[in-house]
Structure 1
Amino acid sequence: MNKRKFGPWWLLLFFWAELCFMELVVHAATAPQFWQPELVLLMLYPLVPAVLLFALCRLFPPRANRVLGPVCSGLCYIFFASQLVYYSIFHCFYSAYSMGNGGQVMQFWKVTLHAIRKNWLPLSLMLLPPVGHAVLGKRFSAARLRLPYLPAFAALAVAVHFGLMALLPVFGTQPLSAYDLYHSTNDMKQTTAHLGLMPAFRLDVHRLLFGFEGGEIELATETKAPMEAPTEAPTVPDATEPTVLPEPVVDTSPNVLELDFDAVPTEGNDVLSELNAYFSSRTPTNKNEKTGMFEGCNLILITAESFSYLAIDPELTPTLYKLQTEGFNFTNFYTPYWDVSTSDGEYAALTGTIPKPGTWSLRDSAENAMPLTMAQQLKRLGYSAYAYHDHTYTYYDRNLSHPNLGYVYRALGNGLDVEATWPESDIEMIDKTTADYMGSEPFHAYYMTVSGHLEYNFNGNAMAKKNQDLVKDLPYSGSVRAYLACQIELDRALELLLQRLDEAGVAENTVIALTGDHYPYGLTDEEQSELAGHEIDTRFERYRNAFILYKKGMKPERVDSLCCTLDILPTLSNLFGLDFDSRLYMGRDVFSDAEPFVLLRDHSWITENAMYYAPSDELILLQGNELSPEEVEERNQDVSNRFRASAWVLEQDYWRYLFGDNLPPDGEN
């Protein structure tokens, strides 16, 4: 008995249904909210690749076409499944750029296996269409498509594509709308939530190959500040009164350089013109009573892998507790999470600008002029500058980026001889590096740690296993105890660092600055809540962290001002009394009178008056304040401006262009 054959159009409908189903599964597993008006776009956009796949599978003789159908279904599954697994690990989708550098990510194959096990249900569901295609493939018509029909199918795909583009304004044109994400904002995660994974990845490939300038920077939201602080006329003391010494006058002039943005030729480059207009219109931050507080001091800057304020404990991690409570205690600090997790976390802290979505910003900066980093600024004052990492020296191409930032760079395989465990020991890194710079003041050392890296268990994580006995009696689940065991390794590395500073006699003249690269995403939301002692808010609280800024003998000070990773570089520049231009950073000097402002990767933001959650357009007012729709729109435009300007700075090598022949020269180690 012959099985019933499906007509020629059933294959097209099958591909469409298959892609819609996979898009919905990924959407359900990753989107902040499932039901949204743009859900119809997730159902319509798969029609375009479905038409193309249908034409491809009817292009060859019947025997080849019958093989192509299931193969195409299988490839679609691999794409969606791999993106879901990647998202499960890194909380973002891999870009075309990252896919081309995927060999490094595959070093974490054990973590990948764990993510596959964790996502067995959606992965199994998405496997149903390819299996169905393999079973039903022979029943689909495989007749070769006649040549005259090919232009018709191409025209159909083009018509559907432009029809969907015309439909986008229906859902709004505000920042992070489907229209804005398609035309102006490069954000693969948000684009996936609004349009679907396939159109988001297609846009990413297109932008990688042909570049992407996005929309314009709207200067209406920027306010030009006076370049000089107002001063009062001096008063003449009354000779009949006892002489009272006046209070020291605090210099509150703006932190700016003598930059004439209008005098620099743009050579017809509209992007450079917009950047000039943008930076010249920004309000600089002013000098203050903390300006120059650490002038002439040594600096040790640390980006700690997956560090969280939740790991600071007076008994479990006493050195971290000491540094936090005996230095500046920043109680309202945030560590935004970026697309390329650790590398982007470093980039934000070391450059003071926002990482560009869809690429490895730190790697891309390796060919650019980077005169505004702490290393380059301090080297111009005669400092030595060293950078260290206790994992593979080529990971994220740090062997290219870090020397360009101004450092002599050493890591595993490149002059740093630490035992190649997974992860490696921060204690061992400190032990084998302090002799490089102590004794050659002034010095600046930068560390990127690795002991705190996921996966958090006592089987495959060498640092968790090493410190297992120290956490065995803690009232937490295994993963949380393993995470804390890894942070103990960081704590004891800092203890050794303080000891070496004391032995070298430079502790009182050395500043230690430390924060995390990202929140500990190797812990589930439930496990992070367990550590916090309450259910964390994944919109904002997840990114709450600590920034440690300490110098032995300083007067402890609590700093409640809202701040984030982007503020580290301008704050340090001011504290060290450097000549810098505060308009060129996306953050602010925390001790200045500039308004506190924190932005997150998804374009959400926090001020002293409100919190705005961009994915759902939700405004949360604080302290009974009111915010008009116009003010919210202005804030959103400001966030978009900062993202766009940061991307253009990287793409255009803007600092080289801006400083030209006056580019500050590299110092010598």
Structure 2
Amino acid sequence: MSLDFIFPVLFSFSCGVVLFLACGIFKERINKILAFIFIKLLFLVYSVQLIYFCIFRTPLSLYSITGAGDALRLKDIVISAILKNIAAVILLLVPMMLFIIFHRRFSFFRVKPETAAGVLVFCLISFTVSIACVNMTNKNTLSQYTLYYKTFSPELSVSRLGLLTTMRLDIQRLIFGFGSDHKAAEVFSRPDGQNTGRIQDNRAGNEEEGKDGKSVGSSDSSGGIGMNESNSEDNSKSDRMDIGSETGMPKAETSPYDIYNIMDIDFKALTEGEKNPAILDMHRYFSTLQPTKKNEYTGMFKGDNLIMITAESFAPYALSPELTPTLYEMSKRGFVFNNFYNPVWGVSTTDGEYVACTGLIPKTGTWSMAKSGKNHMPFTMGNQFKKLGYTTKAYHNHTYTYYKRHISHPNMGYDFKAVGNGLNIKETWPESDLEMIEVTTGEFIGLQPFHAYYMTISGHMNYNFYGNNIAMKNKQYVEHLPYSDESKAYIACNLELEFAVRTLIERLEEAGIADKTVIAISADHYPYGLPRECIDELAGHKVENNFELYKSTFILWKKGMDPVVVDKPCSSLDIIPTLSNLFGLEYDSRLLMGSDILSDAPPLVIFSNRSWITERAMYNSITDTAVFTDGSGNDSAYIELINSIVADKFLYSEKILDTDYYDRVLPKGN
């Protein structure tokens, strides 16, 4: 409870009046029936929202309903969530129970015209006051004003405007549209009058700077965030990229292609020839961004094979030297990312896969992975490697149409197989990761160079020993652990991933190519199906909600490599640019929302509720507070700057999806 609570209260007045009038314009019997219907409908809507949030940790958007059938196909998961939250469900039932008991004491006669007029005036006044209060908050990036008019962020909107208003706005935007032509980020002015709005590495113009003397993930003591003009037509300022140059890069004697991870995109020509204002804005935005520099790790894995795994509900709690020695050893002997985060996004679990596979932020309220199946996606690993002549395969050990992967994954450059279209494994719930590896490795190991992508499912909830086939299969290995049954079942499920990866490495070694094959493993999301008390139990302490809950493990390993410890904050959004740099692939770092973790680019970890972590601070958007981890005092201008940058990343990632922007700047076949 905070001062933000005033907004759902204010909007509830006008909503209540509308419902009252709707139940007072007909005869008594009809009015009474309508009142019961409205109360029942409110109960159902709020109950569905409650249960959906308890399962997926995000409000249900109307955009999401088209795919919610897949997400909620497992009835036992829904039933379990209802039983765990039965007290809250009963509380939501109270208004309907009171109505049933006391409805005879209320009058349902038709409302008199003078009464209706007076009530309607109150409705207009209360709504006007609500909007006026919203407009008074327009100074903040994540204010009620921004959430009401500019930015669709259900998690923040529910917190600051209320669930009812969020759903109304959701319906309004679904009907009238809300997307590529809106502007999420405002231009904020510093005390010195300088506008802010883009990430800019202060060292960008120093072409002579070498790589020596910098550990992985280090940058300026200032945090690596600089200032430049945002959305300005004046491109002559020294702290801004030269949009007039052919590549949008600063001019230097050395070719910018030798220094930066960029492609030959003539933003000047694109800008001059563009008539669409939205696309023109995108050209200007991307041409002014600072690309990441190539570094000592560029091309480290050039020519190697890549096996990339998105592991269902994988988390650090599943790792141990005793039970998962293979995964544990890989997490300590490859690149060791000590501050890696895996946020949960807005629509479904497939959003986590979308982030890891595309380097883009999902569009809030949209099944982004499925929608991307119609777009040109040049920076996915499948398409990048396919262009180089690699064998590219993708597998999922569940139904091939689940979340429309049969559309998205071939579009990412893969020959895709899952249950129902060529992957022949035993159909259980969940299916076995080990079986998937056993029946698929022969399809690519002999066809070098290759890139194989796996989306696993053995780690899926519910975590118990009576309805989860994988947990039952591996129960013997976890019975001795001093944990609750749900925690034991979770570990048992993840043992299947251990057995699968162990078998994978054995087959690579048998083929003599283990030292030529990179394995990258990250989760789609934290195990939200595991009760919070179980997460606390496995972690050994109470896990903090906004940041620590999403701290995860990114395994990036090749046999024989020396460990590289990386303390820099990073996230799944950074996987694609990091892998692209390590394999020496041609990509444009300006067109991805993450950055190469191993570069000197300033770190920025973004969460779905628009909280963030940089070198300097950790900002919690829900509480609107920041902790400055660099020891400096509170810097409100810095917070506004990063909020603006984060808003831009959400906005332009959405625009890339909506406009098929990659096909405009890097046309297919070109």
Asked if these proteins are the same fold (TM beyond 0.5), I'd say: yes
> Does the 8 Å CA contact 2:333/2:563 hold for their aligned counterparts?
yes
| Equivalences for residues 53-64 of structure 1 within 5 A | 53-64=19-30
Report how far residue 349 of structure 1 moved: 0.7
Kindly state the Cα deviation for residue 154 of structure 1 after the two structures are TM-superposed. Answer: 6.9
C-alpha contact 1:371 1:664 (8 A) present in aligned 2: no
Give the share of equivalent positions with the same residue, in percent.
43
Match of 1:473 in 2: 480
Q: Which residue of 255, 258, 264 corresponds with 1:258? A: 264
- Preserved contact between residue 69 and residue 137 of structure 1 (Cα < 8 Å): no
> Which shows bigger deviation, 510-519 or 258-267?
258-267
Deviations 1:191-222 (A, max 9, x none): 01111111101111222232224325448322
TM-superposed deviation, 1:94: 0.9
2:183 corresponds in structure 1 to 215
| 2:14 paired with 1:37 | no
Task: Give 1:395's aligned amino acid.
Answer: Y
1:7-406 aligned within 5 A: 35-144=1-110, 157=123, 160-171=126-137, 173-213=139-179, 214-217=182-185, 218=187, 220-222=196-198, 230-231=207-208, 253-264=259-270, 267-406=274-413
2:656 to 649, 655, 659: 649
Residues 170 and 582 (structure 1), Cα distance of their counterparts in 2 relative to 1, 3 Å cut: same
In 2: Cα distance, 1:206 partner to 1:364 partner: 21
What secondary structure sits across from 2:529 in the alignment? coil
Report the secondary structure of 1:107's partner residue: coil
Q: 2:546 aligns with which of 516, 539, 544?
A: 539
Flag the 1:148–1:624 CA change in 2: closer, same or farther, 3 A.
closer
* CA RMSD in angstroms, aligned pairs only: 2.3
CA pair 591-171 structure 1, distance change in 2 beyond 3 A: same
Change (3 A) 1:433 1:143: same
| Per-residue deviation, 1:62 | 2.6
Count of residues in correspondence between the two structures? 613
- Displacement, 1:49? 2.8
**CA-to-partner distance for each residue in 1:20-78, whole Å, 9 max, x for gaps?**
xxxxxxxxxxxxxxx21121211121233323322322333332222221121101100
**Is residue 341–residue 518 contact of structure 1 (8 Å, CA) maintained in 2?**
no
Q: For the Cα contact (< 8 Å) 1:223–1:281, is it kept in 2?
A: no
Question: For residues 357-410 of structure 1, what are the alpha-carbon distances to aligned partners after superposition, in whole Å with 9 as ceiling and x for unaligned?
Answer: 111111111111111111111111001211111111111111111111111111
Change (3 A) 1:522 1:512: same
Q: How many Å separate the matches in 1 of 2:51 and 2:518? A: 40
2-structure distance, mates of 1:410, 1:44: 52
For residue 591 of structure 1, what is the amino acid of its counterpart?
L
Return the alpha-carbon distance in structure 2 between the equivalents of residues 446 and 232 of structure 1.
37
Distance 1:125 1:267 in 2: 56
Residue identity matched to 1:222: R
- Cα separation, 1, equivalents of 2:603 and 2:629: 14
Normalised TM-score (structure 2): 0.87
- Report the 3-state secondary structure (helix = DSSP H, G, I; strand = E; otherwise coil) of the residue aligned with 2:73: helix
Structure 2 Cα separation of the partners of residues 259 and 571 of structure 1:
21
Q: Which amino acid is the alignment partner of residue 509 of structure 1? A: K
Displacement of 1:646 in angstroms is 0.8
Q: 1:294 to 1:232 in 2, by over 3 A?
A: closer
The letter for the 2-side match of 1:516 is: A
Letter in 2 for 1:617: D
2:608 equivalent to 1:601: yes
In the alignment, is residue 663 of structure 1 matched against residue 668 of structure 2? yes
Residue 190 of structure 1, CA deviation: 0.8
Is the Cα contact below 8 Å between 1:525 and 1:538 reproduced in 2? no
Mapping for residues 420-499 of structure 1, pairs under 5 Å: 420-499=427-506
Instruction: Return the alpha-carbon distance in structure 2 between the equivalents of residues 133 and 274 of structure 1.
Output: 54
In structure 2, how many angstroms separate the alpha carbons of the residues matched to 1:127 and 1:200?
21
Q: Is the 8 A contact 2:8 2:165 kept in 1?
A: no
Deviation, 1:121, is: 1.5
Aligned residue identity for 1:86:
Y
What are the equivalent positions in structure 2 for 1:571-582 lying under 5 Å apart?
571-582=578-589
Instruction: Give the C-alpha shift of residue 252 in structure 1.
Output: 6.3
Structure 1 unmatched runs, 5+: 1-34, 234-249
**Counterpart residue number, 2:247:** none
**Alpha-carbon distance in 2 for matches of 1:483, 1:525:** 13
CA distance in structure 1 between the partners assigned to 2:282 and 2:306 by the alignment = 31
Residue 141 of structure 1 and its aligned partner are, at CA, apart by: 2.8
Q: Distance in 1 between matches of 2:633 and 2:24?
A: 60
CA distance in 2, matches of 1:223, 1:84: 37
1:630 alignment counterpart: 637
User: How big is the shift at 1:224?
Assistant: 5.5
Larger radius of gyration: 1
Distance 2:124 2:659 in 1: 33
**Alpha-carbon shift at residue 171 of structure 1 (Å):** 4.2
Measure the CA separation in 1 of the matches of 2:631 and 2:209. Answer: 36
Higher mean C-alpha displacement, 554-563 vs 156-165:
156-165
User: Which secondary structure state, in structure 1, belongs to the residue aligned with residue 139 of structure 2?
Assistant: coil
**Residues 184 and 647 in structure 2, CA contact (< 8 A), matched pair in contact too:** no
Kept after mapping to 2: 8 A contact 1:454/1:522: yes
CA distance in 2, matches of 1:617, 1:641: 18
